Structure formats: structure tokens, C-alpha cells
A and B are shown apart, each in its own frame.
Chain A
Amino acid sequence: MSRLIRGNAVSADDWTELDDATAVPSTAKVIVSLARWRAERETLAAATAIGVRVDNSADIQTLWPELRDLPLVALEFPKSGDGRAFSQARLLREHCGYQGEIRAIGDVQRDHLQAMQRCGFDAFVPRDDQDLDDCLRALHEFDLAYQRAARDDLPLVWRLRRQA
């Protein structure tokens, strides 16, 4: 079982990512593409739990009726430098009010993790070459922020100034 970062810790990944061809194990938590979820909804119901992988060109608010009851949505960074999923995560958290896990997959690197977290991601599957303990530290590289985003547990400069 591969490892990931969730809730400020390195842990074993309890979900399995499936491509569209692999058969669904009968008792497992699986992540499938949105297309497969749409096509095989009934068969997939056999699995313990379903999470859906959403392409980074998808319109989150249009998809929301299909995503709202899922325990996990995986948003993809197909290559470093393509920042669309940062916006998708904020839309999912802030506009839609999604409470489930938003998982970062793809080209997930240490140096981008804190920004992902601030945009609403709460689980990260770093690229194979990344040092997970170092990734954990990277989540706390800055302990202050100018602007609020989806998650606002960092001290925010404007709020501190208003309180002063």
C-alpha cells in the first residue's frame, strides 16, 4: 500500500486508484475517473467506497450535483506549472461547501504543498521521488499569510491588523 500525507501525518493510503480497465475489487475504497463513475455507477456500488478523479479542465460547479455525496474527490496536477486545480479546489470548498477529502494527485511536489493545503486540499499523494517527511515540513514553511483562501488556519495578516 502506498503512502500519502493526510491530516499532518504520513500514513498508508487506504484508497486504491484504478484506471478505467482494471476490475473493481469487491471490498475496497477506490478512486475512478469521472467517466467510469458515470458509466459504471451500479457496478461500482459493490465497492466499499468510491472516490472520483476529476480532470483539471472540468467545471466544478457544473459537476457538483454528481460530486456532492462522494467521500473523496481527486484533483489532478498533470504537470508542474499547470495550476488549474488550485482554483478547482477553492471552488469545491468555498462555492460548493464540499466537506469530503480533496486529494492532490499527479505532479505533486514538496514545494507546492502548502499552497495546495490553503486552497482546500487535505490529502496529498506526492510524486514518487519526494521525501514524505520533508513534505510534512513543507506544509508549515510559512506560518503567516496575507490572504485568506479555502482553509484559514494560518494567522492572516489582515485579521491580525484589524485586531491590533
Chain B
Amino acid sequence: MYRYDEYDQKLVDERVAQFRDQTRRFLAGQLGEDEFRALRLRNGLYIQRFAPMLRIAIPYGLLSAAQMRMLAHIARKYDKGYGHFTTRQNIQFNWPKLPEVPDLLADLATVQMHAIQTSGNCIRNITADHLAGVANDELVDPRPYCELTRQWSSFHPEFNWLPRKFKFAFSASLNDRAATRVHDIGVHLVKNDAGELGYTIYVGGGLGRMPMLGHKIREFLPEVDLFSYLEAILRIYNLQGRRDNIHRARIKVLVKALGPEKFIELVEAEWAQIKDSYLKLLPQDIERMKGRFDVPAYVDETAADDGSYTAKLAADSKFAAWAKRNLRAHVRPGYAAVFVSLKANGVAPGDVTDAQMDALADLAEQYSFSELRATHDQNLVLADVARKDMYALWQRLSELGLATPNIGLLTDLICCPGLDFCSLANAGSIGVAQDIFDRFEDFDYQHDIGEIKLKMSGCMNGCGHHTVGHIGILGVDKSGEEWYQVTLGGSAENDAALGDRTGPSFSRADIAPAIEKIIQVYLEQRDGAEESFLHTYRRVGMGPFKARLYAKVSAETEVAA
């Protein structure tokens, strides 16, 4: 956990006071609707379909037990008893009342949390690998670099009124678990041939209406030059990004319009003027930041693993099924990272109740060094659990409805709040998620299908990342009715790709059956159980899927003709 020093705390407290005064002026009629809108957005507050929606930042997904308990308190005191974890490792509350939001933010500040820059056309929360620090394919823990970047970007005086929102993701591992190629800036921590640490920088990725993968604009940036290079990119964007059309205002459009080569030339020319300025980090700045993160007091393997884990795997098949699906390897022997599934049947993906949050805080304290992580797949992780504690943890998670053994499977789908909550949405997504859950409830069947990423958004803005789903579903509005377009073959990982449209969209009644047909085609076409959905699709192409999906529709068309 990163722990605030007095300066971090003072800045957050001053922000609360500032927003309290802004809210007071707005409610007193001294601050106009438009002016206040821009200010409240920079504190994560949207006015939504039914009520305000407040988005709280969870920097790089890392939460302490005390913070989780505060989120439970907020759910109870200001909301209807639950919160919604998002695809950017944040949490949203859908029912706070505007006059109470300053108090809510003051409560958050007592546990070193805030909602700064979680919406609006500014630099948003920095996201990272949810297995940072424990993954066995990691070069270095990216979180101190994320925190440096969070602080650099917080209240940045120059970059708070950009053409459009701006999102960063960091990754430092062989497998990209942070979807860096679909962010405005993706940062990969790397070593060069001389063994020096630095960054590979990608710019111009994004989802939404114009999905694009980021371009690599710098192969190697020295470790101490992070801020100057980021300022150069942001400055070029702030000055040259389009502001005439909200749908053409992201940096990806600028990079595309200029061409990556020209964009790189502009950034490098700007960077040359500032790289040796006060923006250069000192090695001790980085060391100091690393030192502010707690290091878990791991015990050695024999103490962490007393043999009970293996015995319970053999004795309890339900536990074994959960362990097979929901645990990931840990860099320390005797430990595992535990995924807490927020994709239970009958629950909107990513939703957690106040009681569950309190219980998770207890479990984190008991079993995982008082820390939790939020993932961009809308699950939670207890990252440092000793094997000896695994069975007890599973029993408790099961009681809480948080042990669905589906991590990475079809029902571990990600989805936005959709038409039920969001004023932007064209179609519902939570109901479709429920239909899919009902249809594929049999976990043996899901295991047989294997790893697959289903992602769903209720509109073109793509909060559910549908374009990079192995199967993507996009809700659209057709003369007042909810319809769903399907894409196949997308990925946000190392093999990042945008999905291909299958063809005409499906009605609300037909979308879940369509997903089932896609799965059937995959099972028929795959070259043994080892071949993944994505690999199969890339090998056989759209043809067989299209043929099955639209067979009936064409027949009807012929009859009608």
C-alpha cells in the first residue's frame, strides 16, 4: 500500500474544502450550471439517469482494508447499500445526493482516498496490472511509477482542460494484463540492452466509437525522463488536439490525422526543450517512492504451506474447482493470488454490497496483509494468501457469494452499467449478462469452453471494452428498441486486436442464443480442448460463425420475399 505523507494529505484535504465551497456556491445560485458541471466532473460527479453518480479513484487498483471499510460505510450512509467496480479499477456509487457529496469526499479523505479527476477532460486515474508485485512474469513492480505519475498528473495546472479525457495504463510484465494498447498512453516498464530500466511508450489507443490500438512512439525512454516526456506528449495534444467535435477529440484522432511519424517528430522536438529541465527525476525520487509502499512480511514456504491445502484439494471437489479457476501463481512459494469473483448469478457484474465490502476488509486483514486490488475485469484480488489459509478463505468467500469459480470463463464477463443506470446508454447490458449467466450456468460446460473474454457495452462509448472482447457485444438503439451487435476476435492483451463485426445485430431475445451458437461453432471447430476460442477464430475466420448465426434469419427473409 502506498501511504500518504503530510503533503498528499494536505492536498486532498484542500481539494475537499475547494469542492465544498464550489458546491455551496452552486446551491446558492452563485455558480452557473455549466461552470459547476466542469468542476464537479473533475471530482468524479456525474448527474445520471436517476441521481448523481460518483466515481471514486482507486489508483492502480490498490485498496487497503481500511479503505474498503470506508467504501462500505459510504455505500450505507450515502447510497443504497452497494457499489459498482468499474473496468478502470475504480468504484462508482449511483445514489449520492449532491449536497452530501462534500461530506462523502471528506470521509474518503480520512482514509487517503478521493475522486479527483475521475471524470472530465483531464488525466484520469492511472491503472496497472492487478497482479503487480506478485506476478512471476514481472520485471519490476510498476506501482511506484504509477504513483509518481498519479502525483505528477494530480491538479496539473496545464493539463486539466484537455480536448478530451486522457487515460494511462502501466504494465511491467511479459503478459499485458492492463490493456495498455487501448489507452491514450500505455507505458511498459522495460530494460534496454545495457540493462538500464526505462519505458516503452504507446500513444493513441482507445475504445469507444473509433477503436484503435496505440502506436509505439518510443522504444526506450530512460527511467528519469518520465515526466518530461509525458509533458511533451500532453502539451502537443493540448495545443493540437481537435476541440470542434467531441467524437474526434481523443489523442488517437490526432495521432491518426498527423500520422505516427509526424506525431513522434513533434513530441521529440518538444521533449528536446524540456528533457534536461526541473522535470528530470533524481534516482532518489524513485527510491523514496518505492520506500513508501508497504512490503508484505511473507513467511517462508514451510510456514505458508502446512500441507492442508493439498489435502483439501483432494478431499473437497468444490474447493478444488474454485482453486483451479480462481487462483493465480505467486512469485513467493507457498502463496497464491486469489480472485474474488464479482460475477455471481443474479448480481450485476462488478456490484458489491456494503456487507460484502466489510467482510472483504476483514478477510484482507486476516489473510492478505490488509490489501485488496480491483481488476479491470471487475473482480477483486486478495494477492498474498498463504496456502495454509486457503480453505478457510474459500469457505468464507462461499458464504459471502464471492467464490463463483468462473475467473477467465464465459460468465466472468465485463459489462458497463448500461441503460439501467447510465444516461449515455442505448441498451441494457445487465439483463443480457443475466441471460448469458442463466444459459451457461453449468460450470463444467464453462470449463470445457475454457478461457474466453466476453465484454459488453450498452453504447458506442465502449465502457465495457466490447471491441477487445474475444466476443464483444455492443448495445444499440434501433427506433426505440434495444439491439445488439456482436464482434469476434478482439483482445486487449499482448496479441491486442479489435474484434470483427459478425453482421446484422440481434434483438434482445436473440442475443443470448446467438452467443450460444458462437460457442457451439467454436466447440465444433476447435482443434482439441487446448485450442482457445481466440486462436480458433483466427484460424477458421468468420465464415463458420456467420453461417450459423444468420442461417435462420436468411431463411425467414426468403419466405418473406
Residues of A within 8 A of B (CB): 80-84, 86-88, 90, 94-95, 109, 111-112, 114-116, 118-119, 141-149, 157-158, 160-162
| A84 pairs with B11, CB closer than 8 A | no
B495 at the interface (CB under 8 A from A): no
Residues of B within 8 A of A (CB): 5, 7-8, 10-11, 14-15, 18, 22, 34-35, 38-39, 121, 151-152, 154-162, 227, 235, 238-239, 243, 273-274, 277-279, 282, 284-285, 288
Besides A83-B158, A115-B160, A143-B14, 12 more A-B contacts (Cβ < 8 Å) are: A81-B38, A81-B121, A82-B161, A83-B161, A84-B239, A87-B235, A115-B158, A119-B158, A142-B11, A157-B7, A157-B151, A162-B282
A141-B158 CB under 8 A given contacts A81-B121, A161-B7: no
Q: B156 to chain A: which residues have CB within 8 Å? A: 146-147
Q: A88 to chain B: which residues have CB within 8 Å? A: 239
Which one of B121, B157, B284, B285 contacts A115 once the chains associate, using CB atoms below 8 Å? Answer: B157
Q: A146 to chain B: which residues have CB within 8 Å? A: 11, 151-152, 154-156
Q: B35 to chain A: which residues have CB within 8 Å? A: 80, 109, 111
Q: A80 to chain B: which residues have CB within 8 Å? A: 34-35, 38, 161
Complex CA distance for A161 and B281, rounded to whole angstroms: 13
Of all chain A residues, which has the CB nearest B120? A81
Complex CA distance for A129 and B35, rounded to whole angstroms: 12
| B11 pairs with A87, CB closer than 8 A | no
The 10 A-B pairs at the shortest CB distance, nearest first, are namely A83-B161, A115-B157, A118-B157, A157-B7, A86-B158, A146-B151, A87-B238, A149-B157, A87-B239, A119-B157
Of all chain B residues, which has the CB nearest A148? B278
B421 to chain A, nearest CB (A): 26
A141-B18 CB under 8 A given contacts A80-B35, A84-B238, A149-B158: yes
Give 21 pairs: A residue, B residue, CB < 8 Å, sorted on A.
Answer: A80-B35, A84-B238, A86-B158, A90-B235, A115-B158, A116-B157, A119-B158, A142-B11, A142-B15, A142-B155, A144-B11, A144-B14, A146-B151, A146-B155, A147-B227, A149-B157, A149-B158, A157-B151, A160-B7, A161-B285, A162-B285
Q: B121 to chain A: which residues have CB within 8 Å? A: 81
Of all chain A residues, which has the CB nearest B11? A144
Q: A112 to chain B: which residues have CB within 8 Å? A: 161
Complex CA distance for A112 and B235, rounded to whole angstroms: 18
B318 to chain A, nearest CB (A): 49
A126 to chain B, nearest CB (A): 12
Complex CA distance for A11 and B278, rounded to whole angstroms: 34
| A111 pairs with B22, CB closer than 8 A | yes
Complex CA distance for A81 and B164, rounded to whole angstroms: 10
| B154 pairs with A95, CB closer than 8 A | no
Q: B5 to chain A: which residues have CB within 8 Å? A: 161
A20 to chain B, nearest CB (A): 24
Q: A82 to chain B: which residues have CB within 8 Å? A: 161, 243
Complex CA distance for A126 and B350, rounded to whole angstroms: 44
Q: A90 to chain B: which residues have CB within 8 Å? A: 158, 235
Most chain B C-beta atoms within 10 Å of own C-beta, residue among A94, A119, A157: A157
A68 to chain B, nearest CB (A): 17
A64 to chain B, nearest CB (A): 13
Q: A161 to chain B: which residues have CB within 8 Å? A: 5, 7, 285, 288
| A86 pairs with B7, CB closer than 8 A | no
Complex CA distance for A143 and B18, rounded to whole angstroms: 12
| A147 pairs with B152, CB closer than 8 A | yes
Of all chain B residues, which has the CB nearest A117? B157
Of all chain B residues, which has the CB nearest A160? B7
Of all chain A residues, which has the CB nearest B42? A111
Q: B243 to chain A: which residues have CB within 8 Å? A: 82, 84
Q: B277 to chain A: which residues have CB within 8 Å? A: 94
Complex CA distance for A87 and B34, rounded to whole angstroms: 23
| B34 pairs with A83, CB closer than 8 A | no
Of all chain B residues, which has the CB nearest A151? B157
Complex CA distance for A29 and B278, rounded to whole angstroms: 36
| A111 pairs with B7, CB closer than 8 A | no
B35 to chain A, nearest CB (A): 6
B211 to chain A, nearest CB (A): 25
Q: B7 to chain A: which residues have CB within 8 Å? A: 144, 157, 160-161
Q: A160 to chain B: which residues have CB within 8 Å? A: 7
B135 to chain A, nearest CB (A): 29
